[in-house]
Amino acid sequence: PSFPAEKAVVCFGNMFIELPKAKTREMLRQDQEELDEEINKLRKELRVKVNRLYEAQGKPELKGFNLNPMSAEEMKLINRILEG
């Protein structure tokens, strides 16, 4: 099937819906922001739980465990530096 260039076909569950590309892009951006927030929340909770576990076992705190991943922008800059 052929779809107009300004439209996108999006799958919701078991249905395909034709939506404007701008609306689709905004929906995907919002979904990604929500997922990133949830991931960061879970990472923080995991750090606390692992530290509690190590403390309960009498082990020293893990070194480097509280590091944060680099953002996409930071990775782009690093790659530019490495490429020269």
Beta strands in 1-51 (DSSP E): 7-12, 15-20
C-alpha span between 36 and 71 (Å, rounded):
11
Confidence of residue 67 (pLDDT cuts 50, 70, 90): confident
pLDDT number for residue 69? 79
Find the mean pLDDT for residues 15-38.
94
Residue 81, in any domain of the structure: no
Share of the chain above pLDDT 90, in %: 58
pLDDT number for residue 40? 87
pTM: 0.60
Find the mean pLDDT for residues 57-66.
82
Domain that holds residue 10: 1-62
Find the mean pLDDT for residues 38-54.
90
Residue 83, in any domain of the structure: no
How many domains, in total, are found in the chain? Answer: 1
Residue 29, in any domain of the structure: yes
